[in-house]
Amino acid sequence: MTEIFDTHAHYDDEAFEEDRRELLASMPDHGIAKIVNVGAGLASCRSTLELMREYDFIYGAIGVHPSETAELDETSFAWLRQQCQKEKCVAVGEIGLDYYWDEPDRELQKEWFVRQLNLAREVKKPVIIHSREAAADTVDLMTAEKAGEIGGVIHCYSYTKETAKTFLDMGFYFGIGGVLTFKNAKKLKEAVEYIPLERIVLETDCPYLAPEPNRGKRNSSLNIPYVIRAMAEIKGVDEETIRRVAWENSHRLYRLPC
């Protein structure tokens, strides 16, 4: 059975304070062979660097989430640039636009989205894109900045299959997680049916978005088999095919040897 690559996790989150070591130590026994822990703010980037150092199978992404962009300045951005060049940093992220909340200011989000896209181009790493209720502006900025030349993944994809075509044309991958198992996820299921399997990677966004039957509980990489099962049904293939192709895709996305 092919091992699992969780392409987007937040094991530095306080939700894992009580049992982080035990949980992470159990991953290889459950077939979870690689994890990318993703920075959201400056503090979580520092925590991500610690996890990268401590665990052979944990890689990192360094970047500032749109909701945290107010904390960025030239000094902290220079620090980000240094960290992004570390060998086990496989991506710049998560970066993008989030219009669910009124803060930070949208123009500020756009400014730092563009700066971090260009940072990824500079350090030659893919990007992890967070886009929530901001499809049009995300597409416009990515098009203007020629993000297709940078490459990366649309994390926790939540838009229509029509928007998916635009990101596919840019050559991006799609991170799919627990939401796929939700009964009300009709739009996502249609998008996953449409997106070629060769462009899909598995993720948790843990501790968030646990799949059915654990919806509402703390998520972890151990729940990915539920997502595999749902995806296999939608794609009309066996679960091992999902595992194998997602494993290969994840390594291509993050430019790691398979």
Where exactly are the structural domains of the chain? 4-254
Where residue 258 falls among pLDDT bands split at 50, 70, 90?
confident
Angle value at C-alpha 85, between 83 and 90, nearest 5 degrees: 95
Q: Which residue's structure tokens are 């665990």?
A: 55
Instruction: Describe the crossing of helices 74-84 and 42-54 by its angle, rounded to 10 degrees.
Output: 20
- CATH 3.20.20.140 is the classification of domain 4-254: yes
**Mean pLDDT on 141-145:** 98
Which residues of 118-206 form beta strands (DSSP E)? 127-132, 152-154, 173-176, 200-202
Express each pLDDT in 17-40 by its tens digit: 999 999 999 999 999 999 999 999
CB neighbour burial string for 23-48, b if at least 16 within 10 angstroms, e if fewer: bbeebeeeebebbbbbbbbbebbebb
pLDDT at 125: 98
pTM to 2 decimal places? 0.98
